[in-house]
Structure 1
Amino acid sequence: MKTIGFLSFGHWTPSPASAVRSAVDAHRQSIELAVAAEEIGADGAYFRVHHFARQLASPFPLLAAVGARTSRIEIGTGVIDMRYENPLYMAEDAGAADVISGGRLQLGISRGSPEQVIEGYKYFGYVPEEGTSDAGMARAHAEVFRKVIEGKGFAEPNPRPMFPNPPGLLRIEPHSPGLQERIWWGAGSRATAEWTAREGMNLMSSTLLTEDAGVPFHQLQAEQIQRFRDAWAEAGHEREPRVSVSRSIFPIVTDLDRRYFGGEQDSEDQVGILEGGRATFGKTYAGEPDQLVEDLARDEAITAADTLLLTVPNQLGVDYNAHVLDSVVRHVAPELGWR
């Protein structure tokens, strides 16, 4: 059994060719797609976070709305850029969204992806300390966030408060028990995956890795996952971790599918330059369901992961993306033993 969800970037553009032409469209359709995904039988609704872009950026209002409209599926991010975050304010927002959803929040966090603007986190009021990097600042913010969501008191109460306080030091409210174990780190390399394991976070691996080892993407990612699991075992954590991978998968079952994605049937991995370093990008899977089953069965990283996030072309609209999810859940997943 695999947990299968979707991952949306939440793009919008005023182009007549797009079904998502405004921020209103992007947010409302994100909620509607999550509702449709639950009805189809998918397991999760995940959203990317990009600042200064015509994409989803402020996740917690959206996650709370999805949590209120659904009852079963996981709701999550993939990923929140911790360079931009106030850890304590984020802890309040995350606690509220988790309480509203009944404990279904799966929060993907990380250093983030290449930005739309130069050092955009500075506009949010955050600057790395002297001698540190922006990646180090992201990890420091994450450390504070994870500490305060444990639920332990740390703030000295006012002796003359407006409202009565419980005894002892005060904690961030609302506190949501169990959220600490539902934090994922978006790791772009094998070394970062090992660090993630030592820190006791779940592993979220995307459709790209910021390194090139001269092997197919899925094999490099499978090695990343194995290194994560080995480091987890060495760290002696008591619980079992979760691992997710993202893929673009499009079963071709209608003429419209063929028109949109027929040209992707010969897709291959790519190696390029990302932020000055070599990176490996995974291919798109598109084809008739029987062919997809054969191709996906050979994907070693999908086999190794317990969670699969399907990247959706959100600008094609809710109905079409619900159709894509339904096609994977109904035509592909059972044949691979995922259902």
Structure 2
Amino acid sequence: MPERGHALRKLGFLTIGRFDADDPRPGLEETLEVIDRAEALGFDSVWLRCRHLQAGISSPVAIMAAASQRTSRIELGTAVIPLGLENPLRLAEDLATVDLLSGGRVNPGVSVGTPMLYDHYKRALYPESYELQDFSKQRVQQLLSHLRGEPVSDFSGTVGIEQFTDHVQPHSPGLADRVWYGGGRDSAIWAAQQGINYLTSSVVSIEGTESRDFATIQAEHIDAFRAHHPAPARARVSQGLVVIPTDSATDDQIRRYRDYAASRFERTTSPQGLGPPVAGGPAPRGMLFSPDYVGISDELADQLFDHAGFRRADEVAFALPFTFGADDYAQIITDLAKKLGPALGWSPAGV
């Protein structure tokens, strides 16, 4: 556990991969350059946020494929792929292909549930079956089954001169063990029961707890995950907060970073999403946001060592803010690797 005197095991960060919708290529290239820089700095992982119908990464598997050919060591994750827009069999084929090309570095983080704004594009996504789609956790179980090489077809053999197997090809052994899932306490327990890994982020559900303290709730969720995992010693947990070190930042950058955090602080003071139930719909879910952390690395390290959720995580994937520029991101990830990481007891990999 990352406590004072104990080293943080893995350091990573999460990027949205933003781009200009009228000229996407420079932004996509920038994301690949960020991954290159991260490997050179010794980061253990880079995680790609997935966004559909937005100017952000819509195909993280394609980005990971490109990055796998430019890097040799760094782990490539997704946080997260919403499975409501995916066919689990086809996704398993793509993930396995990229995992093999990368040498076993892919960490697929996934989510379930009805896709955001689904009613607005469901006919384009599923023209004849949009009302029949199952957006439950069954989709994760299907993906895991396919990644594990379990049968998907009742035929295996030869047709003419072509050979067919009954399971997804290619098969990448061990990839299913690197699947991640996030969510609240119930989701943490469910992920543990599946034997997969647990992603935490800067938002938690207050369901099942009396606490209104973000760090305490996050710690409760991680404890529940470990308590229900069949092999807690190898179970991985990653914490993802917005953490912005300012050690080498300019005065202008520091001002903008602090303004960004201040503009988002109000939502951290009480649970969001509570309200009267909608007739025929699920009960409202209370979501509590974490404040963003901005400051010099020694100060940030003290704050994180006092954070109950951080103390229970094996590794971190700090989230880069969405609205900053390439120079800002370069400064932030450099300070993460050279200042904050060492302050947390972390040592760069492959450097």
Tell me whether the two structures share a fold, i.e. TM-score over 0.5: yes
Match of residue 147, structure 1, among 145, 148, 152: 145
Contact persistence 1:128–1:137 (CA under 8 A)? no
Q: For 2:286, what is the secondary structure of its paired residue?
A: strand
C-alpha offsets along residues 296-325 of structure 1, whole Å, 9 cap, x if unaligned? 111111111112111113553334212211
Match of residue 247, structure 1, among 220, 238, 241: 241
Q: 2:334: which partner in 1?
A: 326
**Structure 2: distance between partners of 1:109 and 1:119:** 22
Query: Quick one: structure 1 residues 150 and 161, their matched pair in 2 at CA, closer, same or farther if it must change by over 3 Å?
Result: farther
Worse-matched range after superposition: 142-151 or 108-117 = 108-117
C-alpha offsets along residues 156-194 of structure 1, whole Å, 9 cap, x if unaligned? 1354244345xxx5321111111010000122x111111
Letter in 1 for 2:11: I
Q: What percent of counterpart residues are identical?
A: 28
**Structure 2: distance between partners of 1:312 and 1:36:** 15
**Structure 2: distance between partners of 1:152 and 1:241:** 23
Match of residue 311, structure 2, among 283, 303, 311: 303
The CA deviation at 1:11 is: 2.9
The CA deviation at 1:293 is: 1.9
**Structure 1: distance between partners of 2:325 and 2:313:** 28
TM, length-normalised to structure 2? 0.83
**CA RMSD of the aligned region, Å?**
2.5
Contact persistence 2:85–2:115 (CA under 8 A)? no
The CA deviation at 1:215 is: 2.7
Q: 1:137: which partner in 2?
A: 135
Q: Does 1:5 align with 2:3?
A: no
TM, length-normalised to structure 1? 0.86
Contact persistence 1:203–1:244 (CA under 8 A)? yes
**Structure 2: distance between partners of 1:13 and 1:203:** 32
Worse-matched range after superposition: 310-319 or 57-66 = 310-319
Q: 1:316: which partner in 2?
A: 324
**Structure 2: distance between partners of 1:48 and 1:265:** 20
Q: Does 1:185 align with 2:181?
A: yes
The CA deviation at 1:22 is: 3.6
Contact persistence 1:63–1:97 (CA under 8 A)? yes
Letter in 1 for 2:10: T
Q: Equivalent residues in 2 for 1:34-53 (5 A)?
A: 34-53=35-54
Paired residues in the alignment total: 321
**Structure 2: distance between partners of 1:335 and 1:79:** 28
Q: 1:115: which partner in 2?
A: 116
**Structure 1: distance between partners of 2:114 and 2:29:** 25
Q: 1:17: which partner in 2?
A: none
**Structure 2: distance between partners of 1:69 and 1:112:** 34
Letter in 2 for 1:206: S
The CA deviation at 1:122 is: 5.2
